[in-house]
């Protein structure tokens, strides 16, 4: 394994500032810092980057890794999200289908570090508006499917469709 610097490099910045930057950097900023200076790199990358995350009653949670599979379609691997210690960084799609647990999506949010998805499919979910904003914050959503899904405000009331459109400005396809 490669040996990484444990102390900040000599610079005009005080070392405690650099240590604070490394400790408190948000995921995207951490990657940028790692690209410019070895000091900011980690022995073990703190985020698990995946292309697609899915939930289905038949298989539970499963993900598609960054590397595309060779052969007959995507290669998904199942895993237990409850016992997964790394934060997730999702790049392409999040799909929750065929779930009896209507609050499943809300239990996923604390496990997310970054959500840069382009496709969001939620089936039979009651999602908090704040959580919906976390999922769509990158502004990349071009496909949104909300089947029997309700986005709720702090009072438990349904959010109007017009307000949903404001958080998905690049939306091209909507399925309800």
Asked if 124 and 158 sit in the same domain, the reply is yes
Asked if 36 and 75 sit in the same domain, the reply is no
Asked if 55 and 113 sit in the same domain, the reply is yes
Distance (Å, whole) CA 31 – CA 49: 12
**pLDDT one-digit tens code per residue, 111-155:** 999 999 999 999 999 999 999 999 999 999 999 999 999 999 999
**pLDDT one-digit tens code per residue, 59-97:** 899 999 876 655 556 688 888 888 888 899 999 999 999
Asked if 91 and 144 sit in the same domain, the reply is yes
Over residues 156-174, the mean pLDDT reads 94
Count up the domains in the chain and report the number: 2
CA quadruple 102, 153, 167, 137: dihedral sign: negative
Asked if 55 and 90 sit in the same domain, the reply is yes
Q: Which domain holds residue 106?
A: 47-175
Q: pTM of the entire structure?
A: 0.80
Asked if 35 and 70 sit in the same domain, the reply is no
Name the CA dihedral angle for 162, 164, 168, 171, rounded to a multiple of 10 degrees: -70
């Amino acid at each position: 394994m490669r040996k990484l610097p444990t102390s900040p490099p000599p610079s005009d910045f005080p070392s405690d500032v650099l240590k604070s930057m490394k400790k408190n950097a948000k995921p995207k900023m951490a990657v940028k810092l790692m690209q410019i200076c070895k000091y900011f790199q980690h022995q073990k990358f703190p985020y698990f980057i995946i292309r697609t995350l899915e939930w289905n009653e038949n298989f539970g949670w499963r993900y598609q890794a960054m590397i595309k599979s060779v052969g007959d379609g995507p290669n998904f691997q199942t895993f237990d999200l409850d016992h997964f210690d790394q934060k997730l960084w999702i790049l392409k799609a999040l799909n929750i289908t065929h779930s009896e647990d209507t609050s499943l999506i809300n239990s996923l949010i604390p496990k997310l570090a970054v959500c840069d998805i382009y496709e969001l499919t939620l089936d039979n979910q009651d999602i908090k508006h704040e959580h919906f904003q976390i999922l769509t914050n990158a502004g990349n959503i071009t496909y949104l499917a909300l089947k029997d899904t309700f986005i709720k405000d702090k009072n438990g009331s349904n959010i109007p469709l017009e307000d949903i459109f404001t958080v998905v400005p690049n939306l091209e396809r909507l399925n309800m």
